[in-house]
Amino acid sequence: MARPLARSLAPLTEESLPGLILRLAHRLERSPARIAELCGLNGHQNRLSAHYLMALPDDLTQAFAISSHLHTDEVRTLTLSCFASAYPPLGSVRLDGSRNTAAARKMWAAGLSRSYCPACLAGDGSTVQNLYGGPWRLRWHLPVSFACTAHHRLLARSCPQCDGTPNQPANTERQGLITQRTTSGLHPAQCRHLATSDGAGQRRPAAMCAARLDRPQAAAILSGCDLRQLIALQARIDRHLLPGPHSLTVTGPGPDPGFFPDLIAAAQLIRLAWPESARFAPSALLAELIDRHLASAAEQRAALAPGQHARHTWAAPTDPLECGALLVTADCLLGENASDDSGLVERVQPLAVAAFTRHPANIGAALRRMDFSPHLARALAPRLNGFYRAGGHRPAVRVPSRHSTFSIDHVPARSFPRSGSSPTSAPF
């Protein structure tokens, strides 16, 4: 039975569950594992389950709320479940164990390891953040987070001292909610990687890297124009993730359930149709970054043993800069007016042709798993159905011609009707 902790902390805005546990551990001078135990979160074999990042079961939500002096609603905002309705890829994933983690990455759902903004971790100057650090933000676990709009910078991926990725174990330790969870005495913003050698090359297997991740770091080399474009897209993504009172006015458009599926499907198409798709990259440097990402993905595939599955083929780029470059290019492909079908068809069809002729074997399976809006489905459909016929499968996407009146019967299976194109608002 969980008992209230002697002292607790109110969650910071957008703080994640592992982030709050790290701050509680620092405040109470205990290890994160001990805090989890005191809060009733220790599960089977004393593990701190990675799945808790997605959602806490009701009994554990209750226990954690009692221990940490919080309301159960506050506890629920610490897990990715609060993005589930806004971010469709989160819908069906589990994050528990390396296989599920790889599957979650493939679906563009979420990752246990995370990018971070050093300035956010440094805190906002308030007393509580000066003492216990700023927030590890929940949305940094989503692959569509690549920049911090508050600090106008790209997220950092790794520790500047040891190059380790936060919460990505370098050894055989199973990836859980918090890496090296039994280690106490670290600030929440300190690197929890084991440093295997010191500067002189001597092995020091037990020492922590412990570098502070909340110190100023060199910013990515981008032109002001590229950076502005990446930040603008991130701001739009954030508005879709966290629809607040400012983004959803009574008269304005409602949340667009096709936004993320289309953005992700367009990003996959950009990769499959590279280099023909390079012309949609807003600058030569951004195209070069996508090129770099594709080259390293190809290297990873080449290094696979026969029979091993290429898990990373569809995963979002792990580097925030490369991911931002890919998404901003995908956004240019989709164009500003998603309902302008003829423009979209003109842009998408040549890429679909390039993608289908180059990757006939796996593209159908991959696209079958993907969700997208009727607009993108229409732009892709002739190629998709052509492929399915060629491959001997029945067409999986039923799409009306652009001239027909749109009804719910025409929405392809597993895709989302865009706001404004629902049957109730269609001009019958």
Which residues are at the interface with Zn ion (CB under 5 A)?
Answer: 117, 119-120, 148, 150-151, 159, 161-162, 164, 191, 193, 209, 211
Which parts of 219-258 fold into alpha helices (H)? 224-241
Closest CB to Zn ion among residues 151, 311? 151
Tokens matching residue 39: 């809060």
Smallest distance, Å, CB 24 to Zn ion?
22
Smallest distance, Å, CB 136 to Zn ion?
11
Smallest distance, Å, CB 164 to Zn ion?
5
Asked if residues 229 and 328 have their Cβ atoms less than 8 Å apart, the reply is: yes
Smallest distance, Å, CB 360 to Zn ion?
43
Q: How many CA atoms lie within 13 A of 264 on its CB side?
A: 30
Closest CB to Zn ion among residues 231, 269? 231
Smallest distance, Å, CB 126 to Zn ion?
15
One-letter amino acid at 166 equals: P
**Residue in 201, 229, 190 with CA at minimum distance from that of residue 325:** 229
Closest CB to Zn ion among residues 76, 151? 151
Closest CB to Zn ion among residues 159, 328? 159
Closest CB to Zn ion among residues 96, 238? 238
- Taken in order 357, 359, 362, 367, the sign of the CA dihedral is negative
Closest CB to Zn ion among residues 120, 344? 120
Closest CB to Zn ion among residues 137, 240? 137
The span from the CA of 80 to the CA of 54, in Å, is 5
Smallest distance, Å, CB 189 to Zn ion?
11
The span from the CA of 281 to the CA of 330, in Å, is 8
Phi, psi of 58 (to 5 degrees): -55, -40
Buried b (16+ CB within 10 A) or exposed e, 95-126: bbeeebbebbbbbbbbbbbbbbbbbbbbbeee
Closest CB to Zn ion among residues 56, 323? 323
Interacting residues of 265 by C-beta distance below 8 A, sequence separation 6+ = 367, 370, 371, 372, 376
The span from the CA of 289 to the CA of 307, in Å, is 30
**Residue in 27, 46, 219, 45 with CA at minimum distance from that of residue 118:** 219
- Tell how many helices (H) and how many strands (E) occur in the chain: 14, 2
Closest CB to Zn ion among residues 47, 151? 151
Smallest distance, Å, CB 119 to Zn ion?
4
Smallest distance, Å, CB 35 to Zn ion?
22
Dihedral, 399, 400, 403, 408 alpha carbons, nearest 10: -110
Closest CB to Zn ion among residues 191, 399? 191
**Helix or strand or coil: residue 190?**
strand
Smallest distance, Å, CB 124 to Zn ion?
10
CB-neighbour burial class of residue 76 (10 A; exposed 0-12, middle 13-18, buried 19+) = middle
Tokens matching residue 10: 């109110």
Asked if residues 106 and 314 have their Cβ atoms less than 8 Å apart, the reply is: yes
Dihedral, 295, 296, 298, 301 alpha carbons, nearest 10: 180
Smallest distance, Å, CB 216 to Zn ion?
12
Closest CB to Zn ion among residues 161, 283? 161
Smallest distance, Å, CB 195 to Zn ion?
7
Tokens matching residue 70: 């919080």
